[in-house]
Amino acid sequence: MCKGLYNTLHIYKFITYLYTSTLQLWHGLCSYFGIKQINEVMNNKLLITVLIAASSYAGFTKVSAQTADTTNQVLTLHDCMQYAISNSTKMQIQKANISDARIDRRNAALTLFTPNINAQTYAYYNFGRSIDPQTNTYFTTTSFHNNYSISLGYDLFDGFKAVNNYKISKTSMLIAKSEEKQAEADICLAVMEAYYNVAYYQRLTAVYEEQVASAETSLKLARRQEELGQKGHADVVQMEADLADRQYDLTNTRNMYLDQRMILADLMFWPEGEELKIETDVKPTSLEPMENVENAVDYALTHNPEVQISTWKQLNARRELNTAKWQLLPTIGIYAGWNTSYYTYEGAQTASFNKQFRNNRGEYVEMSLSIPLWDRLSRSSNISKKRNAYRRATAELEQKRRDIESEVRRAILDRDGTATAYLQAQHKAEVQEEAYQLNRKKLEQGLISPLEFQTASNNYLKAQADEMNSLYKYLIKQAVVRYYNGVAYIDQ
């Protein structure tokens, strides 16, 4: 907020300065041409324009601040994932990797399609023996030499190295973008799991608070009934012990809630000292129907970022192997250049700089053929290493495809299993709630002992916890299956 106010003050100063300068210039022109009425009208227009611009900027700043300020909002799961993606250092690293890949692609394209051009110049004094360029004889005197040259070279055939490097750089760009998608998916999944853990313990804390309040009410009633002789002291002690258990469980649950909220805040890079509030009223939209497992597996093996990355790495390994093999062939290059020079001797008359610059110039055109005969087996060793790299990339691709297939099948199986468990837990919670209410009335009427009521209360509490736990597990498994079917976590 202070930063926004600081920027707003600077903008107001700038607008005021602009208004004053423009007004002075306009006054000068009006005075020069003898204009008065238009001068006054222009003053008003300028003032109105400045006020409108300032007000618009102030409103824009206010709206921007409201939009950026999320610390006082109750965040949904989508908000948490979006915030984590925007602030994660992993995403910043991936963006830097994409930038590097883009630079490599540009360099590979320039190497493939453009020649190498160099310009050089040097100047030196010689104080000892040297060769006279005019007579080609040795002499001893102080001389000054200055040279200029430009050279151009292009490899006509380099074993398709430049072509393959350009293809590799394009594929590396795709790999970097897929790695960014994979990093985003990993962040979203981690945030989702932490988010549901926070929601679970927050709702469980509320349940324990209700249990503690109910136990305190029952204890007060039991003490009153003990005073009236309707209950024994043993029943009151048992209810006090039940209240102590509820308070202990409430404290542990609150600690777990704070711990999970800290984990979520760390994943999101949430500002220190700001309270993180999330939406806990989470309900499934609908249970996913049964689907064809093979279709889901085929889609994942084609479109999943991890499989694509492994596929492109294998493709690049094969290209690098082909490049290493082609390096056994000769290389052909064409080169051209231009140079000129200037020299002078102490005590001698030489031509002027302009005349020598024209007369001493020379050009050349060269074509070279380089045949590798013996390089201490470096090319052969390079081929062997590239072949091993290709085999390794092929094995990694095969393993990754197998892992993804297993993960998809397991995700669908887990989703269907958790859906069934959630329906059963939901029914159990409804039944246990009804039993809990009946037993509570019986306890108030003295029809059951506190121990029996504690058992009924524990069953109801466990049923509520199981219902929430199975719900959040199902939502996570459902999101994983949708992800393998091509729907990103952030878009669900």
With contact defined as beta carbons under 8 Å apart, do 201 and 256 qualify? yes
> Could you tell me if 179 and 307 lie in one domain?
yes
Instruction: Report the predicted TM-score, pTM, of the whole model to 2 decimal places.
Output: 0.76
> Could you tell me if 267 and 316 lie in one domain?
yes
Report the DSSP beta bridge partners of residue 332.
157, 369
**Distance in angstroms (rounded) separating the CA atoms of residues 15 and 8:** 11
Q: What was the pLDDT predicted at 283?
A: 72
* Structure tokens belonging to residue 279: 């939406």
> Would 353 be classed as within a structural domain?
no
> Could you tell me if 180 and 236 lie in one domain?
yes
- Which residue has tokens 């949430």? 270
**Boundaries of domain holding 423:** 89-114+158-329+372-491
CATH number of the domain that residue 393 is part of: 1.20.1600.10
In 29-39, which positions are buried (b, 16+ CB within 10 angstroms) versus exposed (e)? ebeeeeeeeeb
> Could you tell me if 27 and 98 lie in one domain?
no
> Could you tell me if 261 and 401 lie in one domain?
yes
> Could you tell me if 317 and 458 lie in one domain?
yes
> Could you tell me if 52 and 101 lie in one domain?
no
> Could you tell me if 408 and 455 lie in one domain?
yes
pLDDT digits (tens, 9 = 90+) for 350-399: 899 999 999 999 999 999 999 999 888 999 999 999 999 999 999 999 99
Q: What was the pLDDT predicted at 141?
A: 82
> Would 149 be classed as within a structural domain?
no
Q: What was the pLDDT predicted at 447?
A: 83
> Would 366 be classed as within a structural domain?
no
Cα Rg for the chain, rounded, in angstroms?
A: 40
**Distance in angstroms (rounded) separating the CA atoms of residues 318 and 61:** 54
> Would 40 be classed as within a structural domain?
yes
> Would 412 be classed as within a structural domain?
yes
Q: Is 478 exposed, middle or buried (0-12, 13-18, 19+ CB in 10 A)?
A: buried
> Could you tell me if 110 and 40 lie in one domain?
no
> Would 367 be classed as within a structural domain?
no
With contact defined as beta carbons under 8 Å apart, do 143 and 136 qualify? no
**Phi-psi category of 47—alpha, beta or left, where left has phi over 0 and alpha has psi -120 to 50?**
alpha
CB atoms inside a 10 Å sphere around CB 257: 20
Q: Which of residues 13, 39, 69 is at a domain's end?
A: 69
Number of domains in the chain: 2
With contact defined as beta carbons under 8 Å apart, do 121 and 148 qualify? yes
In this prediction, the residues of the chain whose per-residue pLDDT falls under 50 are: 1-12, 26, 29, 32-68
> Could you tell me if 191 and 101 lie in one domain?
yes
Nearest to 430 by CA among 401, 459, 453: 459
Q: What was the pLDDT predicted at 481?
A: 94
> Would 150 be classed as within a structural domain?
no
> Could you tell me if 262 and 167 lie in one domain?
yes
> Could you tell me if 249 and 100 lie in one domain?
yes
With contact defined as beta carbons under 8 Å apart, do 132 and 125 qualify? no
